[in-house]
Structure 1
Amino acid sequence: MAFQPIYDAVAGRVWGYEALVRGLSGEGAYQVLSQVSPEQKYRFDQACRVKAIELAARLFPAGEELMLSINFMPNAVYEPAACLRATLQAAARCNFPTSSIMFEFTENEEVLDTAHLTNIITEYRKHGFTTAIDDFGAGHAGLGLLVDFQPDLMKIDMLLIRDIDTSPARQAVVAGVVGIAAELGITLLAEGIETEAEFLALRASGIRLFQGYWFGKPAFEELPQVRAVSVLDAAAL
């Protein structure tokens, strides 16, 4: 697993880290996942969760309140309560609080059964986990999925972020997403930030959580260096 920072521009500190699948030679998530057969998806999903928790428990500084974001594959979860056993056991064994774990699912994986996904989210919330939609605005379900259930957090996909500072169309779409999220009580995170201009435009729209190479690149089994934005700078935007 590699870890990429999620930055809170209002608090002026790292909010958490996303655990990303990586091969031993640095292969990206797509290369690794493409080698996982449908029959292996459940075991792979479980192994990734446990590994992420074990590493976070070792790497996260003691005493700091940081979130660990873990990706999961909804179609690999056959029964929510049973699938959480290994996660809960790993968290207990590593003394890692479940309230510091966020599970995010990507819209790039087509959700075959929305009712099943709703059951998964409900079960996860029972145990204190935060839930998130990854890649919002670039996947299969989009707003239709948001109508069926509301996660705690949504990550706006980089396709809507790229060059937003010079794109009135992207600015309009993101403004709409910001408004919807506010109405539904959902926290927004802008991912894929690569330039200061993108960050400034998004911060001005009211978004406070950010992720992307401009803040810090993923580091393999360690915490990366993070670009800091001061609270005063953020408040002035």
Structure 2
Amino acid sequence: MDVERREVFAHEALVRGVHGEGALQVLGRVEARHRFAFHEACRVKSIEMASMLGMQSRLSLNVSPNDVAGPTECFHTAIRTADRVRFPIDRLILELTEGEPVADLPALAATFRAFQSFGFASAIDDFGAAYASFELLAAFQPDIVKLDRSFVRDIHLSAVRFTLVKGLVAICDELRIKVLAEGVETPEEVQVLRGLGVRLFQGFLFARPGIGMLPTVAWNAA
């Protein structure tokens, strides 16, 4: 949510099982050798669905470091799919997750910079949750930094969290990077973060993930 404009800034596509299982449960059933293909199938389905729904907001898609550090297929797939279903590329956000180590940080940064010319936005997810967050930021300056919920939780009660977030927001302002606060659950958290200059928020305070309209991704690992 963009709280200043009082409008939806983006929808994030999340992996869920047919019975509402979380991403870790679903991905745990996919063999490592099929993981990239599964991620690709999910990203394609997400773009197709956004177009089908006539979505006017941005669409945020998760990509892992290993998806983009070497091969660039995920960028080509997203671009081809968006063109095929007539979803504007400039409404796509490719969101880099930090759930795995980055084997080749310079290559990862170079790949993102090369494909930004196509018009989509970029983001670093869960910033601060992984040991390499600032190393990644030094190598690659995205459009958006998504502040991990560990910094957001009860920030109105923690002088340490307040000081850390204040410093990070100042750094991002200097680099012209938007800051998005994840995991927001209380009005007090929003009030403090807005006072620090944050205007983008994501969390249960605004909405919980919805699964009622999601089509199943057909998947054959054979």
For normalisation by structure 2, the TM-score amounts to 0.91
Match of 2:178 in 1: 187
**C-alpha distance in 2, partners of 1:221/1:188?**
30
1:208 and 2:202 aligned: no
Instruction: Percent identity, please.
Output: 43
Name the CA distance, whole Å, in 1 between partners of 2:118 and 2:31: 29
Supply the distance in 2 between the matched residues of 1:179 and 1:73 (Cα, whole angstroms).
27
Superposed, 1:1-237 pairs within 5 Å as: 7-61=1-55, 64=56, 66-77=57-68, 78-80=70-72, 82-220=73-211, 222=213
Distance 1:119 1:38, change over 3 A: farther
Equivalent residue of 1:120, what SS? Answer: helix
CA distance in 1, matches of 2:95, 2:143: 10
**Superposition CA RMSD, Å:** 1.5
Aligned partner letter, 1:109 = E
TM-score when normalising by structure 1:
0.85
Q: Per-residue deviation at 1:202?
A: 0.8
> Deviation at 1:68?
0.3
Q: Which residue of 2 aligns with 1:234?
A: none
After TM superposition, give the deviation of residue 222 of structure 1 in Å.
4.0
Q: CA deviation at 1:83?
A: 3.3
Indicate the larger mover: 87-96 or 182-191: 87-96
Q: Gapped runs of 5+ residues in structure 1?
A: 1-6, 224-237
Moved more, 149-158 or 83-92: 83-92
Counterpart residue type for residue 49 of structure 1:
R
Q: Which structure: greater strand fraction?
A: 1
Q: Distance in 2 between matches of 1:83 and 1:143?
A: 24
The answer to whether the 8 Å contact 2:126/2:148 transfers is yes
The count of aligned residue pairs is 213
Structure 1: which amino acid aligns with 2:197? Answer: G
Q: Which runs of 5+ in 2 are unaligned?
A: 215-222
How many Å apart are 1:86 and its aligned residue? 2.2
One-letter amino acid matched to 1:34: G
The separation in 1 between residues aligned to 2:16 and 2:74, in whole angstroms, is 22
Structure ranking higher on relative contact order (CA contacts 8 Å, 6+ apart):
1
